[in-house]
Amino acid sequence: MSLFGFGKKKEEKPCCSGGCNCEGTANTNTSDTKGADVKILGSGCAKCNQLEANTKEALLKLSMDTSIDHVTDFSQIAAYGVMTTPAVVYKGKVLAYGKVLNSDEIAELIKKAGG
């Protein structure tokens, strides 16, 4: 008999829904094979919608034909490690969060990220 759970073997569970190679921490660099390369994280407020519009403009400037997903589910947003929205994610990497970037700033971040 163990007191307060000491001596019990802890059941190891994946930190997420599985399929990642992490060890107990959230996989913030989730390169989804399905879905869009660009994601806007936010509740759907005016700032989030403005960031999405600026991102579309940046993609046009870069001549990139990429779809954009707008993620509004807070558990999915938190999985990226983002606690302040709006945020821009490109190929699973959070480029910026907490402010509305203009299209030139977004284009520059995408270029630096390999876009």
Averaged pLDDT for residues 25-32 = 38
Q: What is the phi/psi pair of residue 2, to 5°?
A: -110, 145
Where along the chain do its domains lie?
A: 38-112
Q: What is the phi/psi pair of residue 35, to 5°?
A: 90, -175
pTM score above 0.75: no
Per CATH, the number for 38-112 is: 3.40.30.10
Catalytic residue (choose from 15, 16, 22, 45): 45
Q: Residue 95 corresponds to which tokens in the numbers above?
A: 């480029």
> What pLDDT does residue 66 have?
86
Q: Is 48 annotated in the active site?
A: yes
Q: Is 22 annotated in the active site?
A: no
Averaged pLDDT for residues 89-100 = 95
Amino acid at 25: T
